[in-house]
Amino acid sequence: MATTKIKITKEVVQNLPFTINPQERKDYYDSELPNFGVRVSGSSRKYFVMSYVGDKRVRVTLGDATALTAEQARKNAKIKLGKMASGIDPNEAEREQQRQKEDAKKQIEVLNARKTTLQQNFDTYLDNRKLKESTKKNYTTLVNLHLPDWLSLPLCEITKSMITDRHRAIALGERARPLNITVLKTQEEMEAERKALEDHTRTRGQKVNVKMKLTKKIPDTSPKHREASADGCMRVLRTVINYAMDDNEDLIPVNPTERLSRRKEWYNVPKRRRLIKNSDLPAWHKEVMSMKNENMRDYLLFLLFTGLRRNEAARIKWKLVNFPEKVYRIIDTKNKIDAVFPMSDYLFTLFKRRKKDAINDYVFPGEGKGGYLVDPSTAIESITEQTGIIFTCHDLRRTFVTIAESLDISHYTLKALLNHKYSSEDVTGGYIIINPERLREPVQQITNAIIKNIERSEETTEQD
């Protein structure tokens, strides 16, 4: 690199020509102050000092000539050269100072992060993750029910022992709200109620048309074990803490929920396997068909004859129903994969019947802000009271697939009908494409089997 000695002044530096080659550098040293100079490139002029610190040659940039006068640069150069003469590397000193500033800033960030509460971190997680509204609602319910006293605590104050104790308390039912449970009435209670109704009829002098309820609600006095809720709540907490730790590695040394894994304390409750038995189908079907609320009636029948999840069925819009091709589309599904299903003859009739009475965009309209049917619990409780058959919407899904499996329908067809994802290990499944027409015959077979089970059970009941 070419070097030249000059008397460094403002005018002299301003008149130094830029290099023709943008990559070229030319150094000009001051004729009065040794080791003080200015480096010129294709677009800049920068003051510097160059000297030895021990056995190491060190170059320190003082600043650009457009921002620093020659006099200021000379004063600064003397200070830097003095430090270098005493064995101090200004560059290393500046880097160390910068590291200290960054460390101090990081410590402040960590302290501030450690002050953030579970509620704040939970809200941040919900706001930044792409979760279905139903998932957000489920997470919020678990946290508000089982961890309300922790929401104001900083995450770093939630300890491993707190996790273990609360996990166990939830599982034992100690954190649950007081509930009523539905149970079958005893024979004595039924007789007493029947007698009371008869006395009431005679007193009135007229016949009273009152249906006898087979069930009753009683307070649940004994704590109900909620192992599934305990696991679910702690998994939500684990996810929220992991999300916070990703943003700040120094927030806490380890996620306290990991103790549950290390000690193998997760309950891992098996999936519920309840369904409506074939012998109960006629009574269930008869009660559903007697419902005055035709919208709710058709919705429950639709669940039984399709095996769809409750929200996927409730949110079907008429624009997703194709009558000419006899298919309907399901969107916004649990696994985020849209699906098209064929209609059986039974479903085609049901859709046609509902279309005549359509009042909005939804096949199963509701009075809520969403416009679709939301909560069938009242109707389900009524059916249970009249029949003694305890069930949920998801039990209808299990009933559907159990009947389908009894027909020896292929495994991959069942997965398609349930809109289940193929696992990453199932290489064969990833190659199989099942279109709606491939599903049409199996859907009709399942529908026929459900109807046959209802009719066969009804005939058996009449003979008994």
* CATH number of the domain that residue 145 is part of: 1.10.150
* 158 and 255 part of one domain: yes
What residues form DSSP beta bridges with 216? Answer: 183
Tokens encoding 214: 């087979």
Instruction: Decide if 230 contacts 170 (C-beta within 8 A).
Output: yes
Q: What is the pLDDT of residue 205?
A: 47
Nearest CA to 445 out of 302, 356, 345 is that of 345
Q: What is the DSSP letter of 364?
A: S
In order of 406, 410, 419, 432, the CA distances from 413 in angstroms are 13, 5, 10, 10
Tokens encoding 114: 């450690």
* 17 and 135 part of one domain: no
Parent domain of 9 = 3-106
* 450 and 406 part of one domain: yes
Looking at 82, 106, 130, which one is the last position of a domain?
106
What residues form DSSP beta bridges with 46? Answer: 39, 64
Instruction: Decide if 251 contacts 113 (C-beta within 8 A).
Output: yes
* 304 and 450 part of one domain: yes
Looking at 237, 262, 287, which one is the last position of a domain?
262
Tally of domains in the chain: 3
| Assigned domain for 149 exists | yes
| Assigned domain for 364 exists | yes
* CATH number of the domain that residue 100 is part of: 3.30.160.390
Instruction: Decide if 370 contacts 360 (C-beta within 8 A).
Output: no
* 245 and 135 part of one domain: yes
| Assigned domain for 251 exists | yes
Residues contacting residue 178 through CB under 8 Å, at least 6 positions apart: 219, 220
Looking at 231, 262, 293, which one is the last position of a domain?
262
Nearest CA to 143 out of 283, 266, 238 is that of 238
Tokens encoding 312: 């996927």
| Assigned domain for 298 exists | yes
Question: What is the dihedral angle through the alpha carbons of 245, 249, 251, 253, rounded to the nearest 10 degrees?
Answer: 100
Q: What is the pLDDT of residue 211?
A: 61
Helix (H) or strand (E) holding 104: helix 90-115
Q: What is the DSSP letter of 332?
A: S
* 74 and 97 part of one domain: yes
Q: What is the pLDDT of residue 51?
A: 93
* 454 and 307 part of one domain: yes
Q: What is the pLDDT of residue 464?
A: 44
Find tokens 């070097």 and name the residue.
3
- Distance of alpha carbon 126 from alpha carbon 341, whole angstroms: 32
* 149 and 76 part of one domain: no
Residues contacting residue 35 through CB under 8 Å, at least 6 positions apart: 29, 49, 50, 51, 77, 81
* 250 and 286 part of one domain: no
Q: What is the pLDDT of residue 456?
A: 75
| Assigned domain for 197 exists | no
| Assigned domain for 270 exists | no
Q: What residue type is 51 in one-letter code?
A: S
* 93 and 168 part of one domain: no
Q: What residue type is 448 in one-letter code?
A: N
Q: What is the pLDDT of residue 239?
A: 95
pLDDT values of the chain reduced to their tens digit, one per residue, 464 residues: 556 889 999 999 999 999 998 889 999 999 999 999 999 999 999 999 999 998 899 999 999 999 999 999 999 999 999 999 999 999 998 899 899 888 888 777 777 767 889 999 999 999 999 888 888 999 999 999 999 999 999 988 899 999 999 999 999 887 665 566 677 788 888 888 777 777 665 544 444 445 667 777 777 656 567 898 999 999 999 999 999 888 777 778 899 999 999 999 999 987 777 899 999 999 999 999 999 999 999 999 999 999 999 999 999 999 999 999 999 999 988 877 889 999 999 999 999 999 998 999 999 999 888 899 988 998 998 999 889 898 999 999 999 999 999 998 988 899 999 988 766 555 455 555 678 899 999 999 999 999 999 987 545 545 44
| Assigned domain for 89 exists | yes
Q: What is the pLDDT of residue 123?
A: 94
Instruction: Decide if 316 contacts 330 (C-beta within 8 A).
Output: yes
Is the whole-model pTM more than 0.75?
Answer: no
* 415 and 306 part of one domain: yes
- Distance of alpha carbon 35 from alpha carbon 32, whole angstroms: 10
* CATH number of the domain that residue 452 is part of: 1.10.443.10
* 287 and 427 part of one domain: yes
| Assigned domain for 136 exists | yes
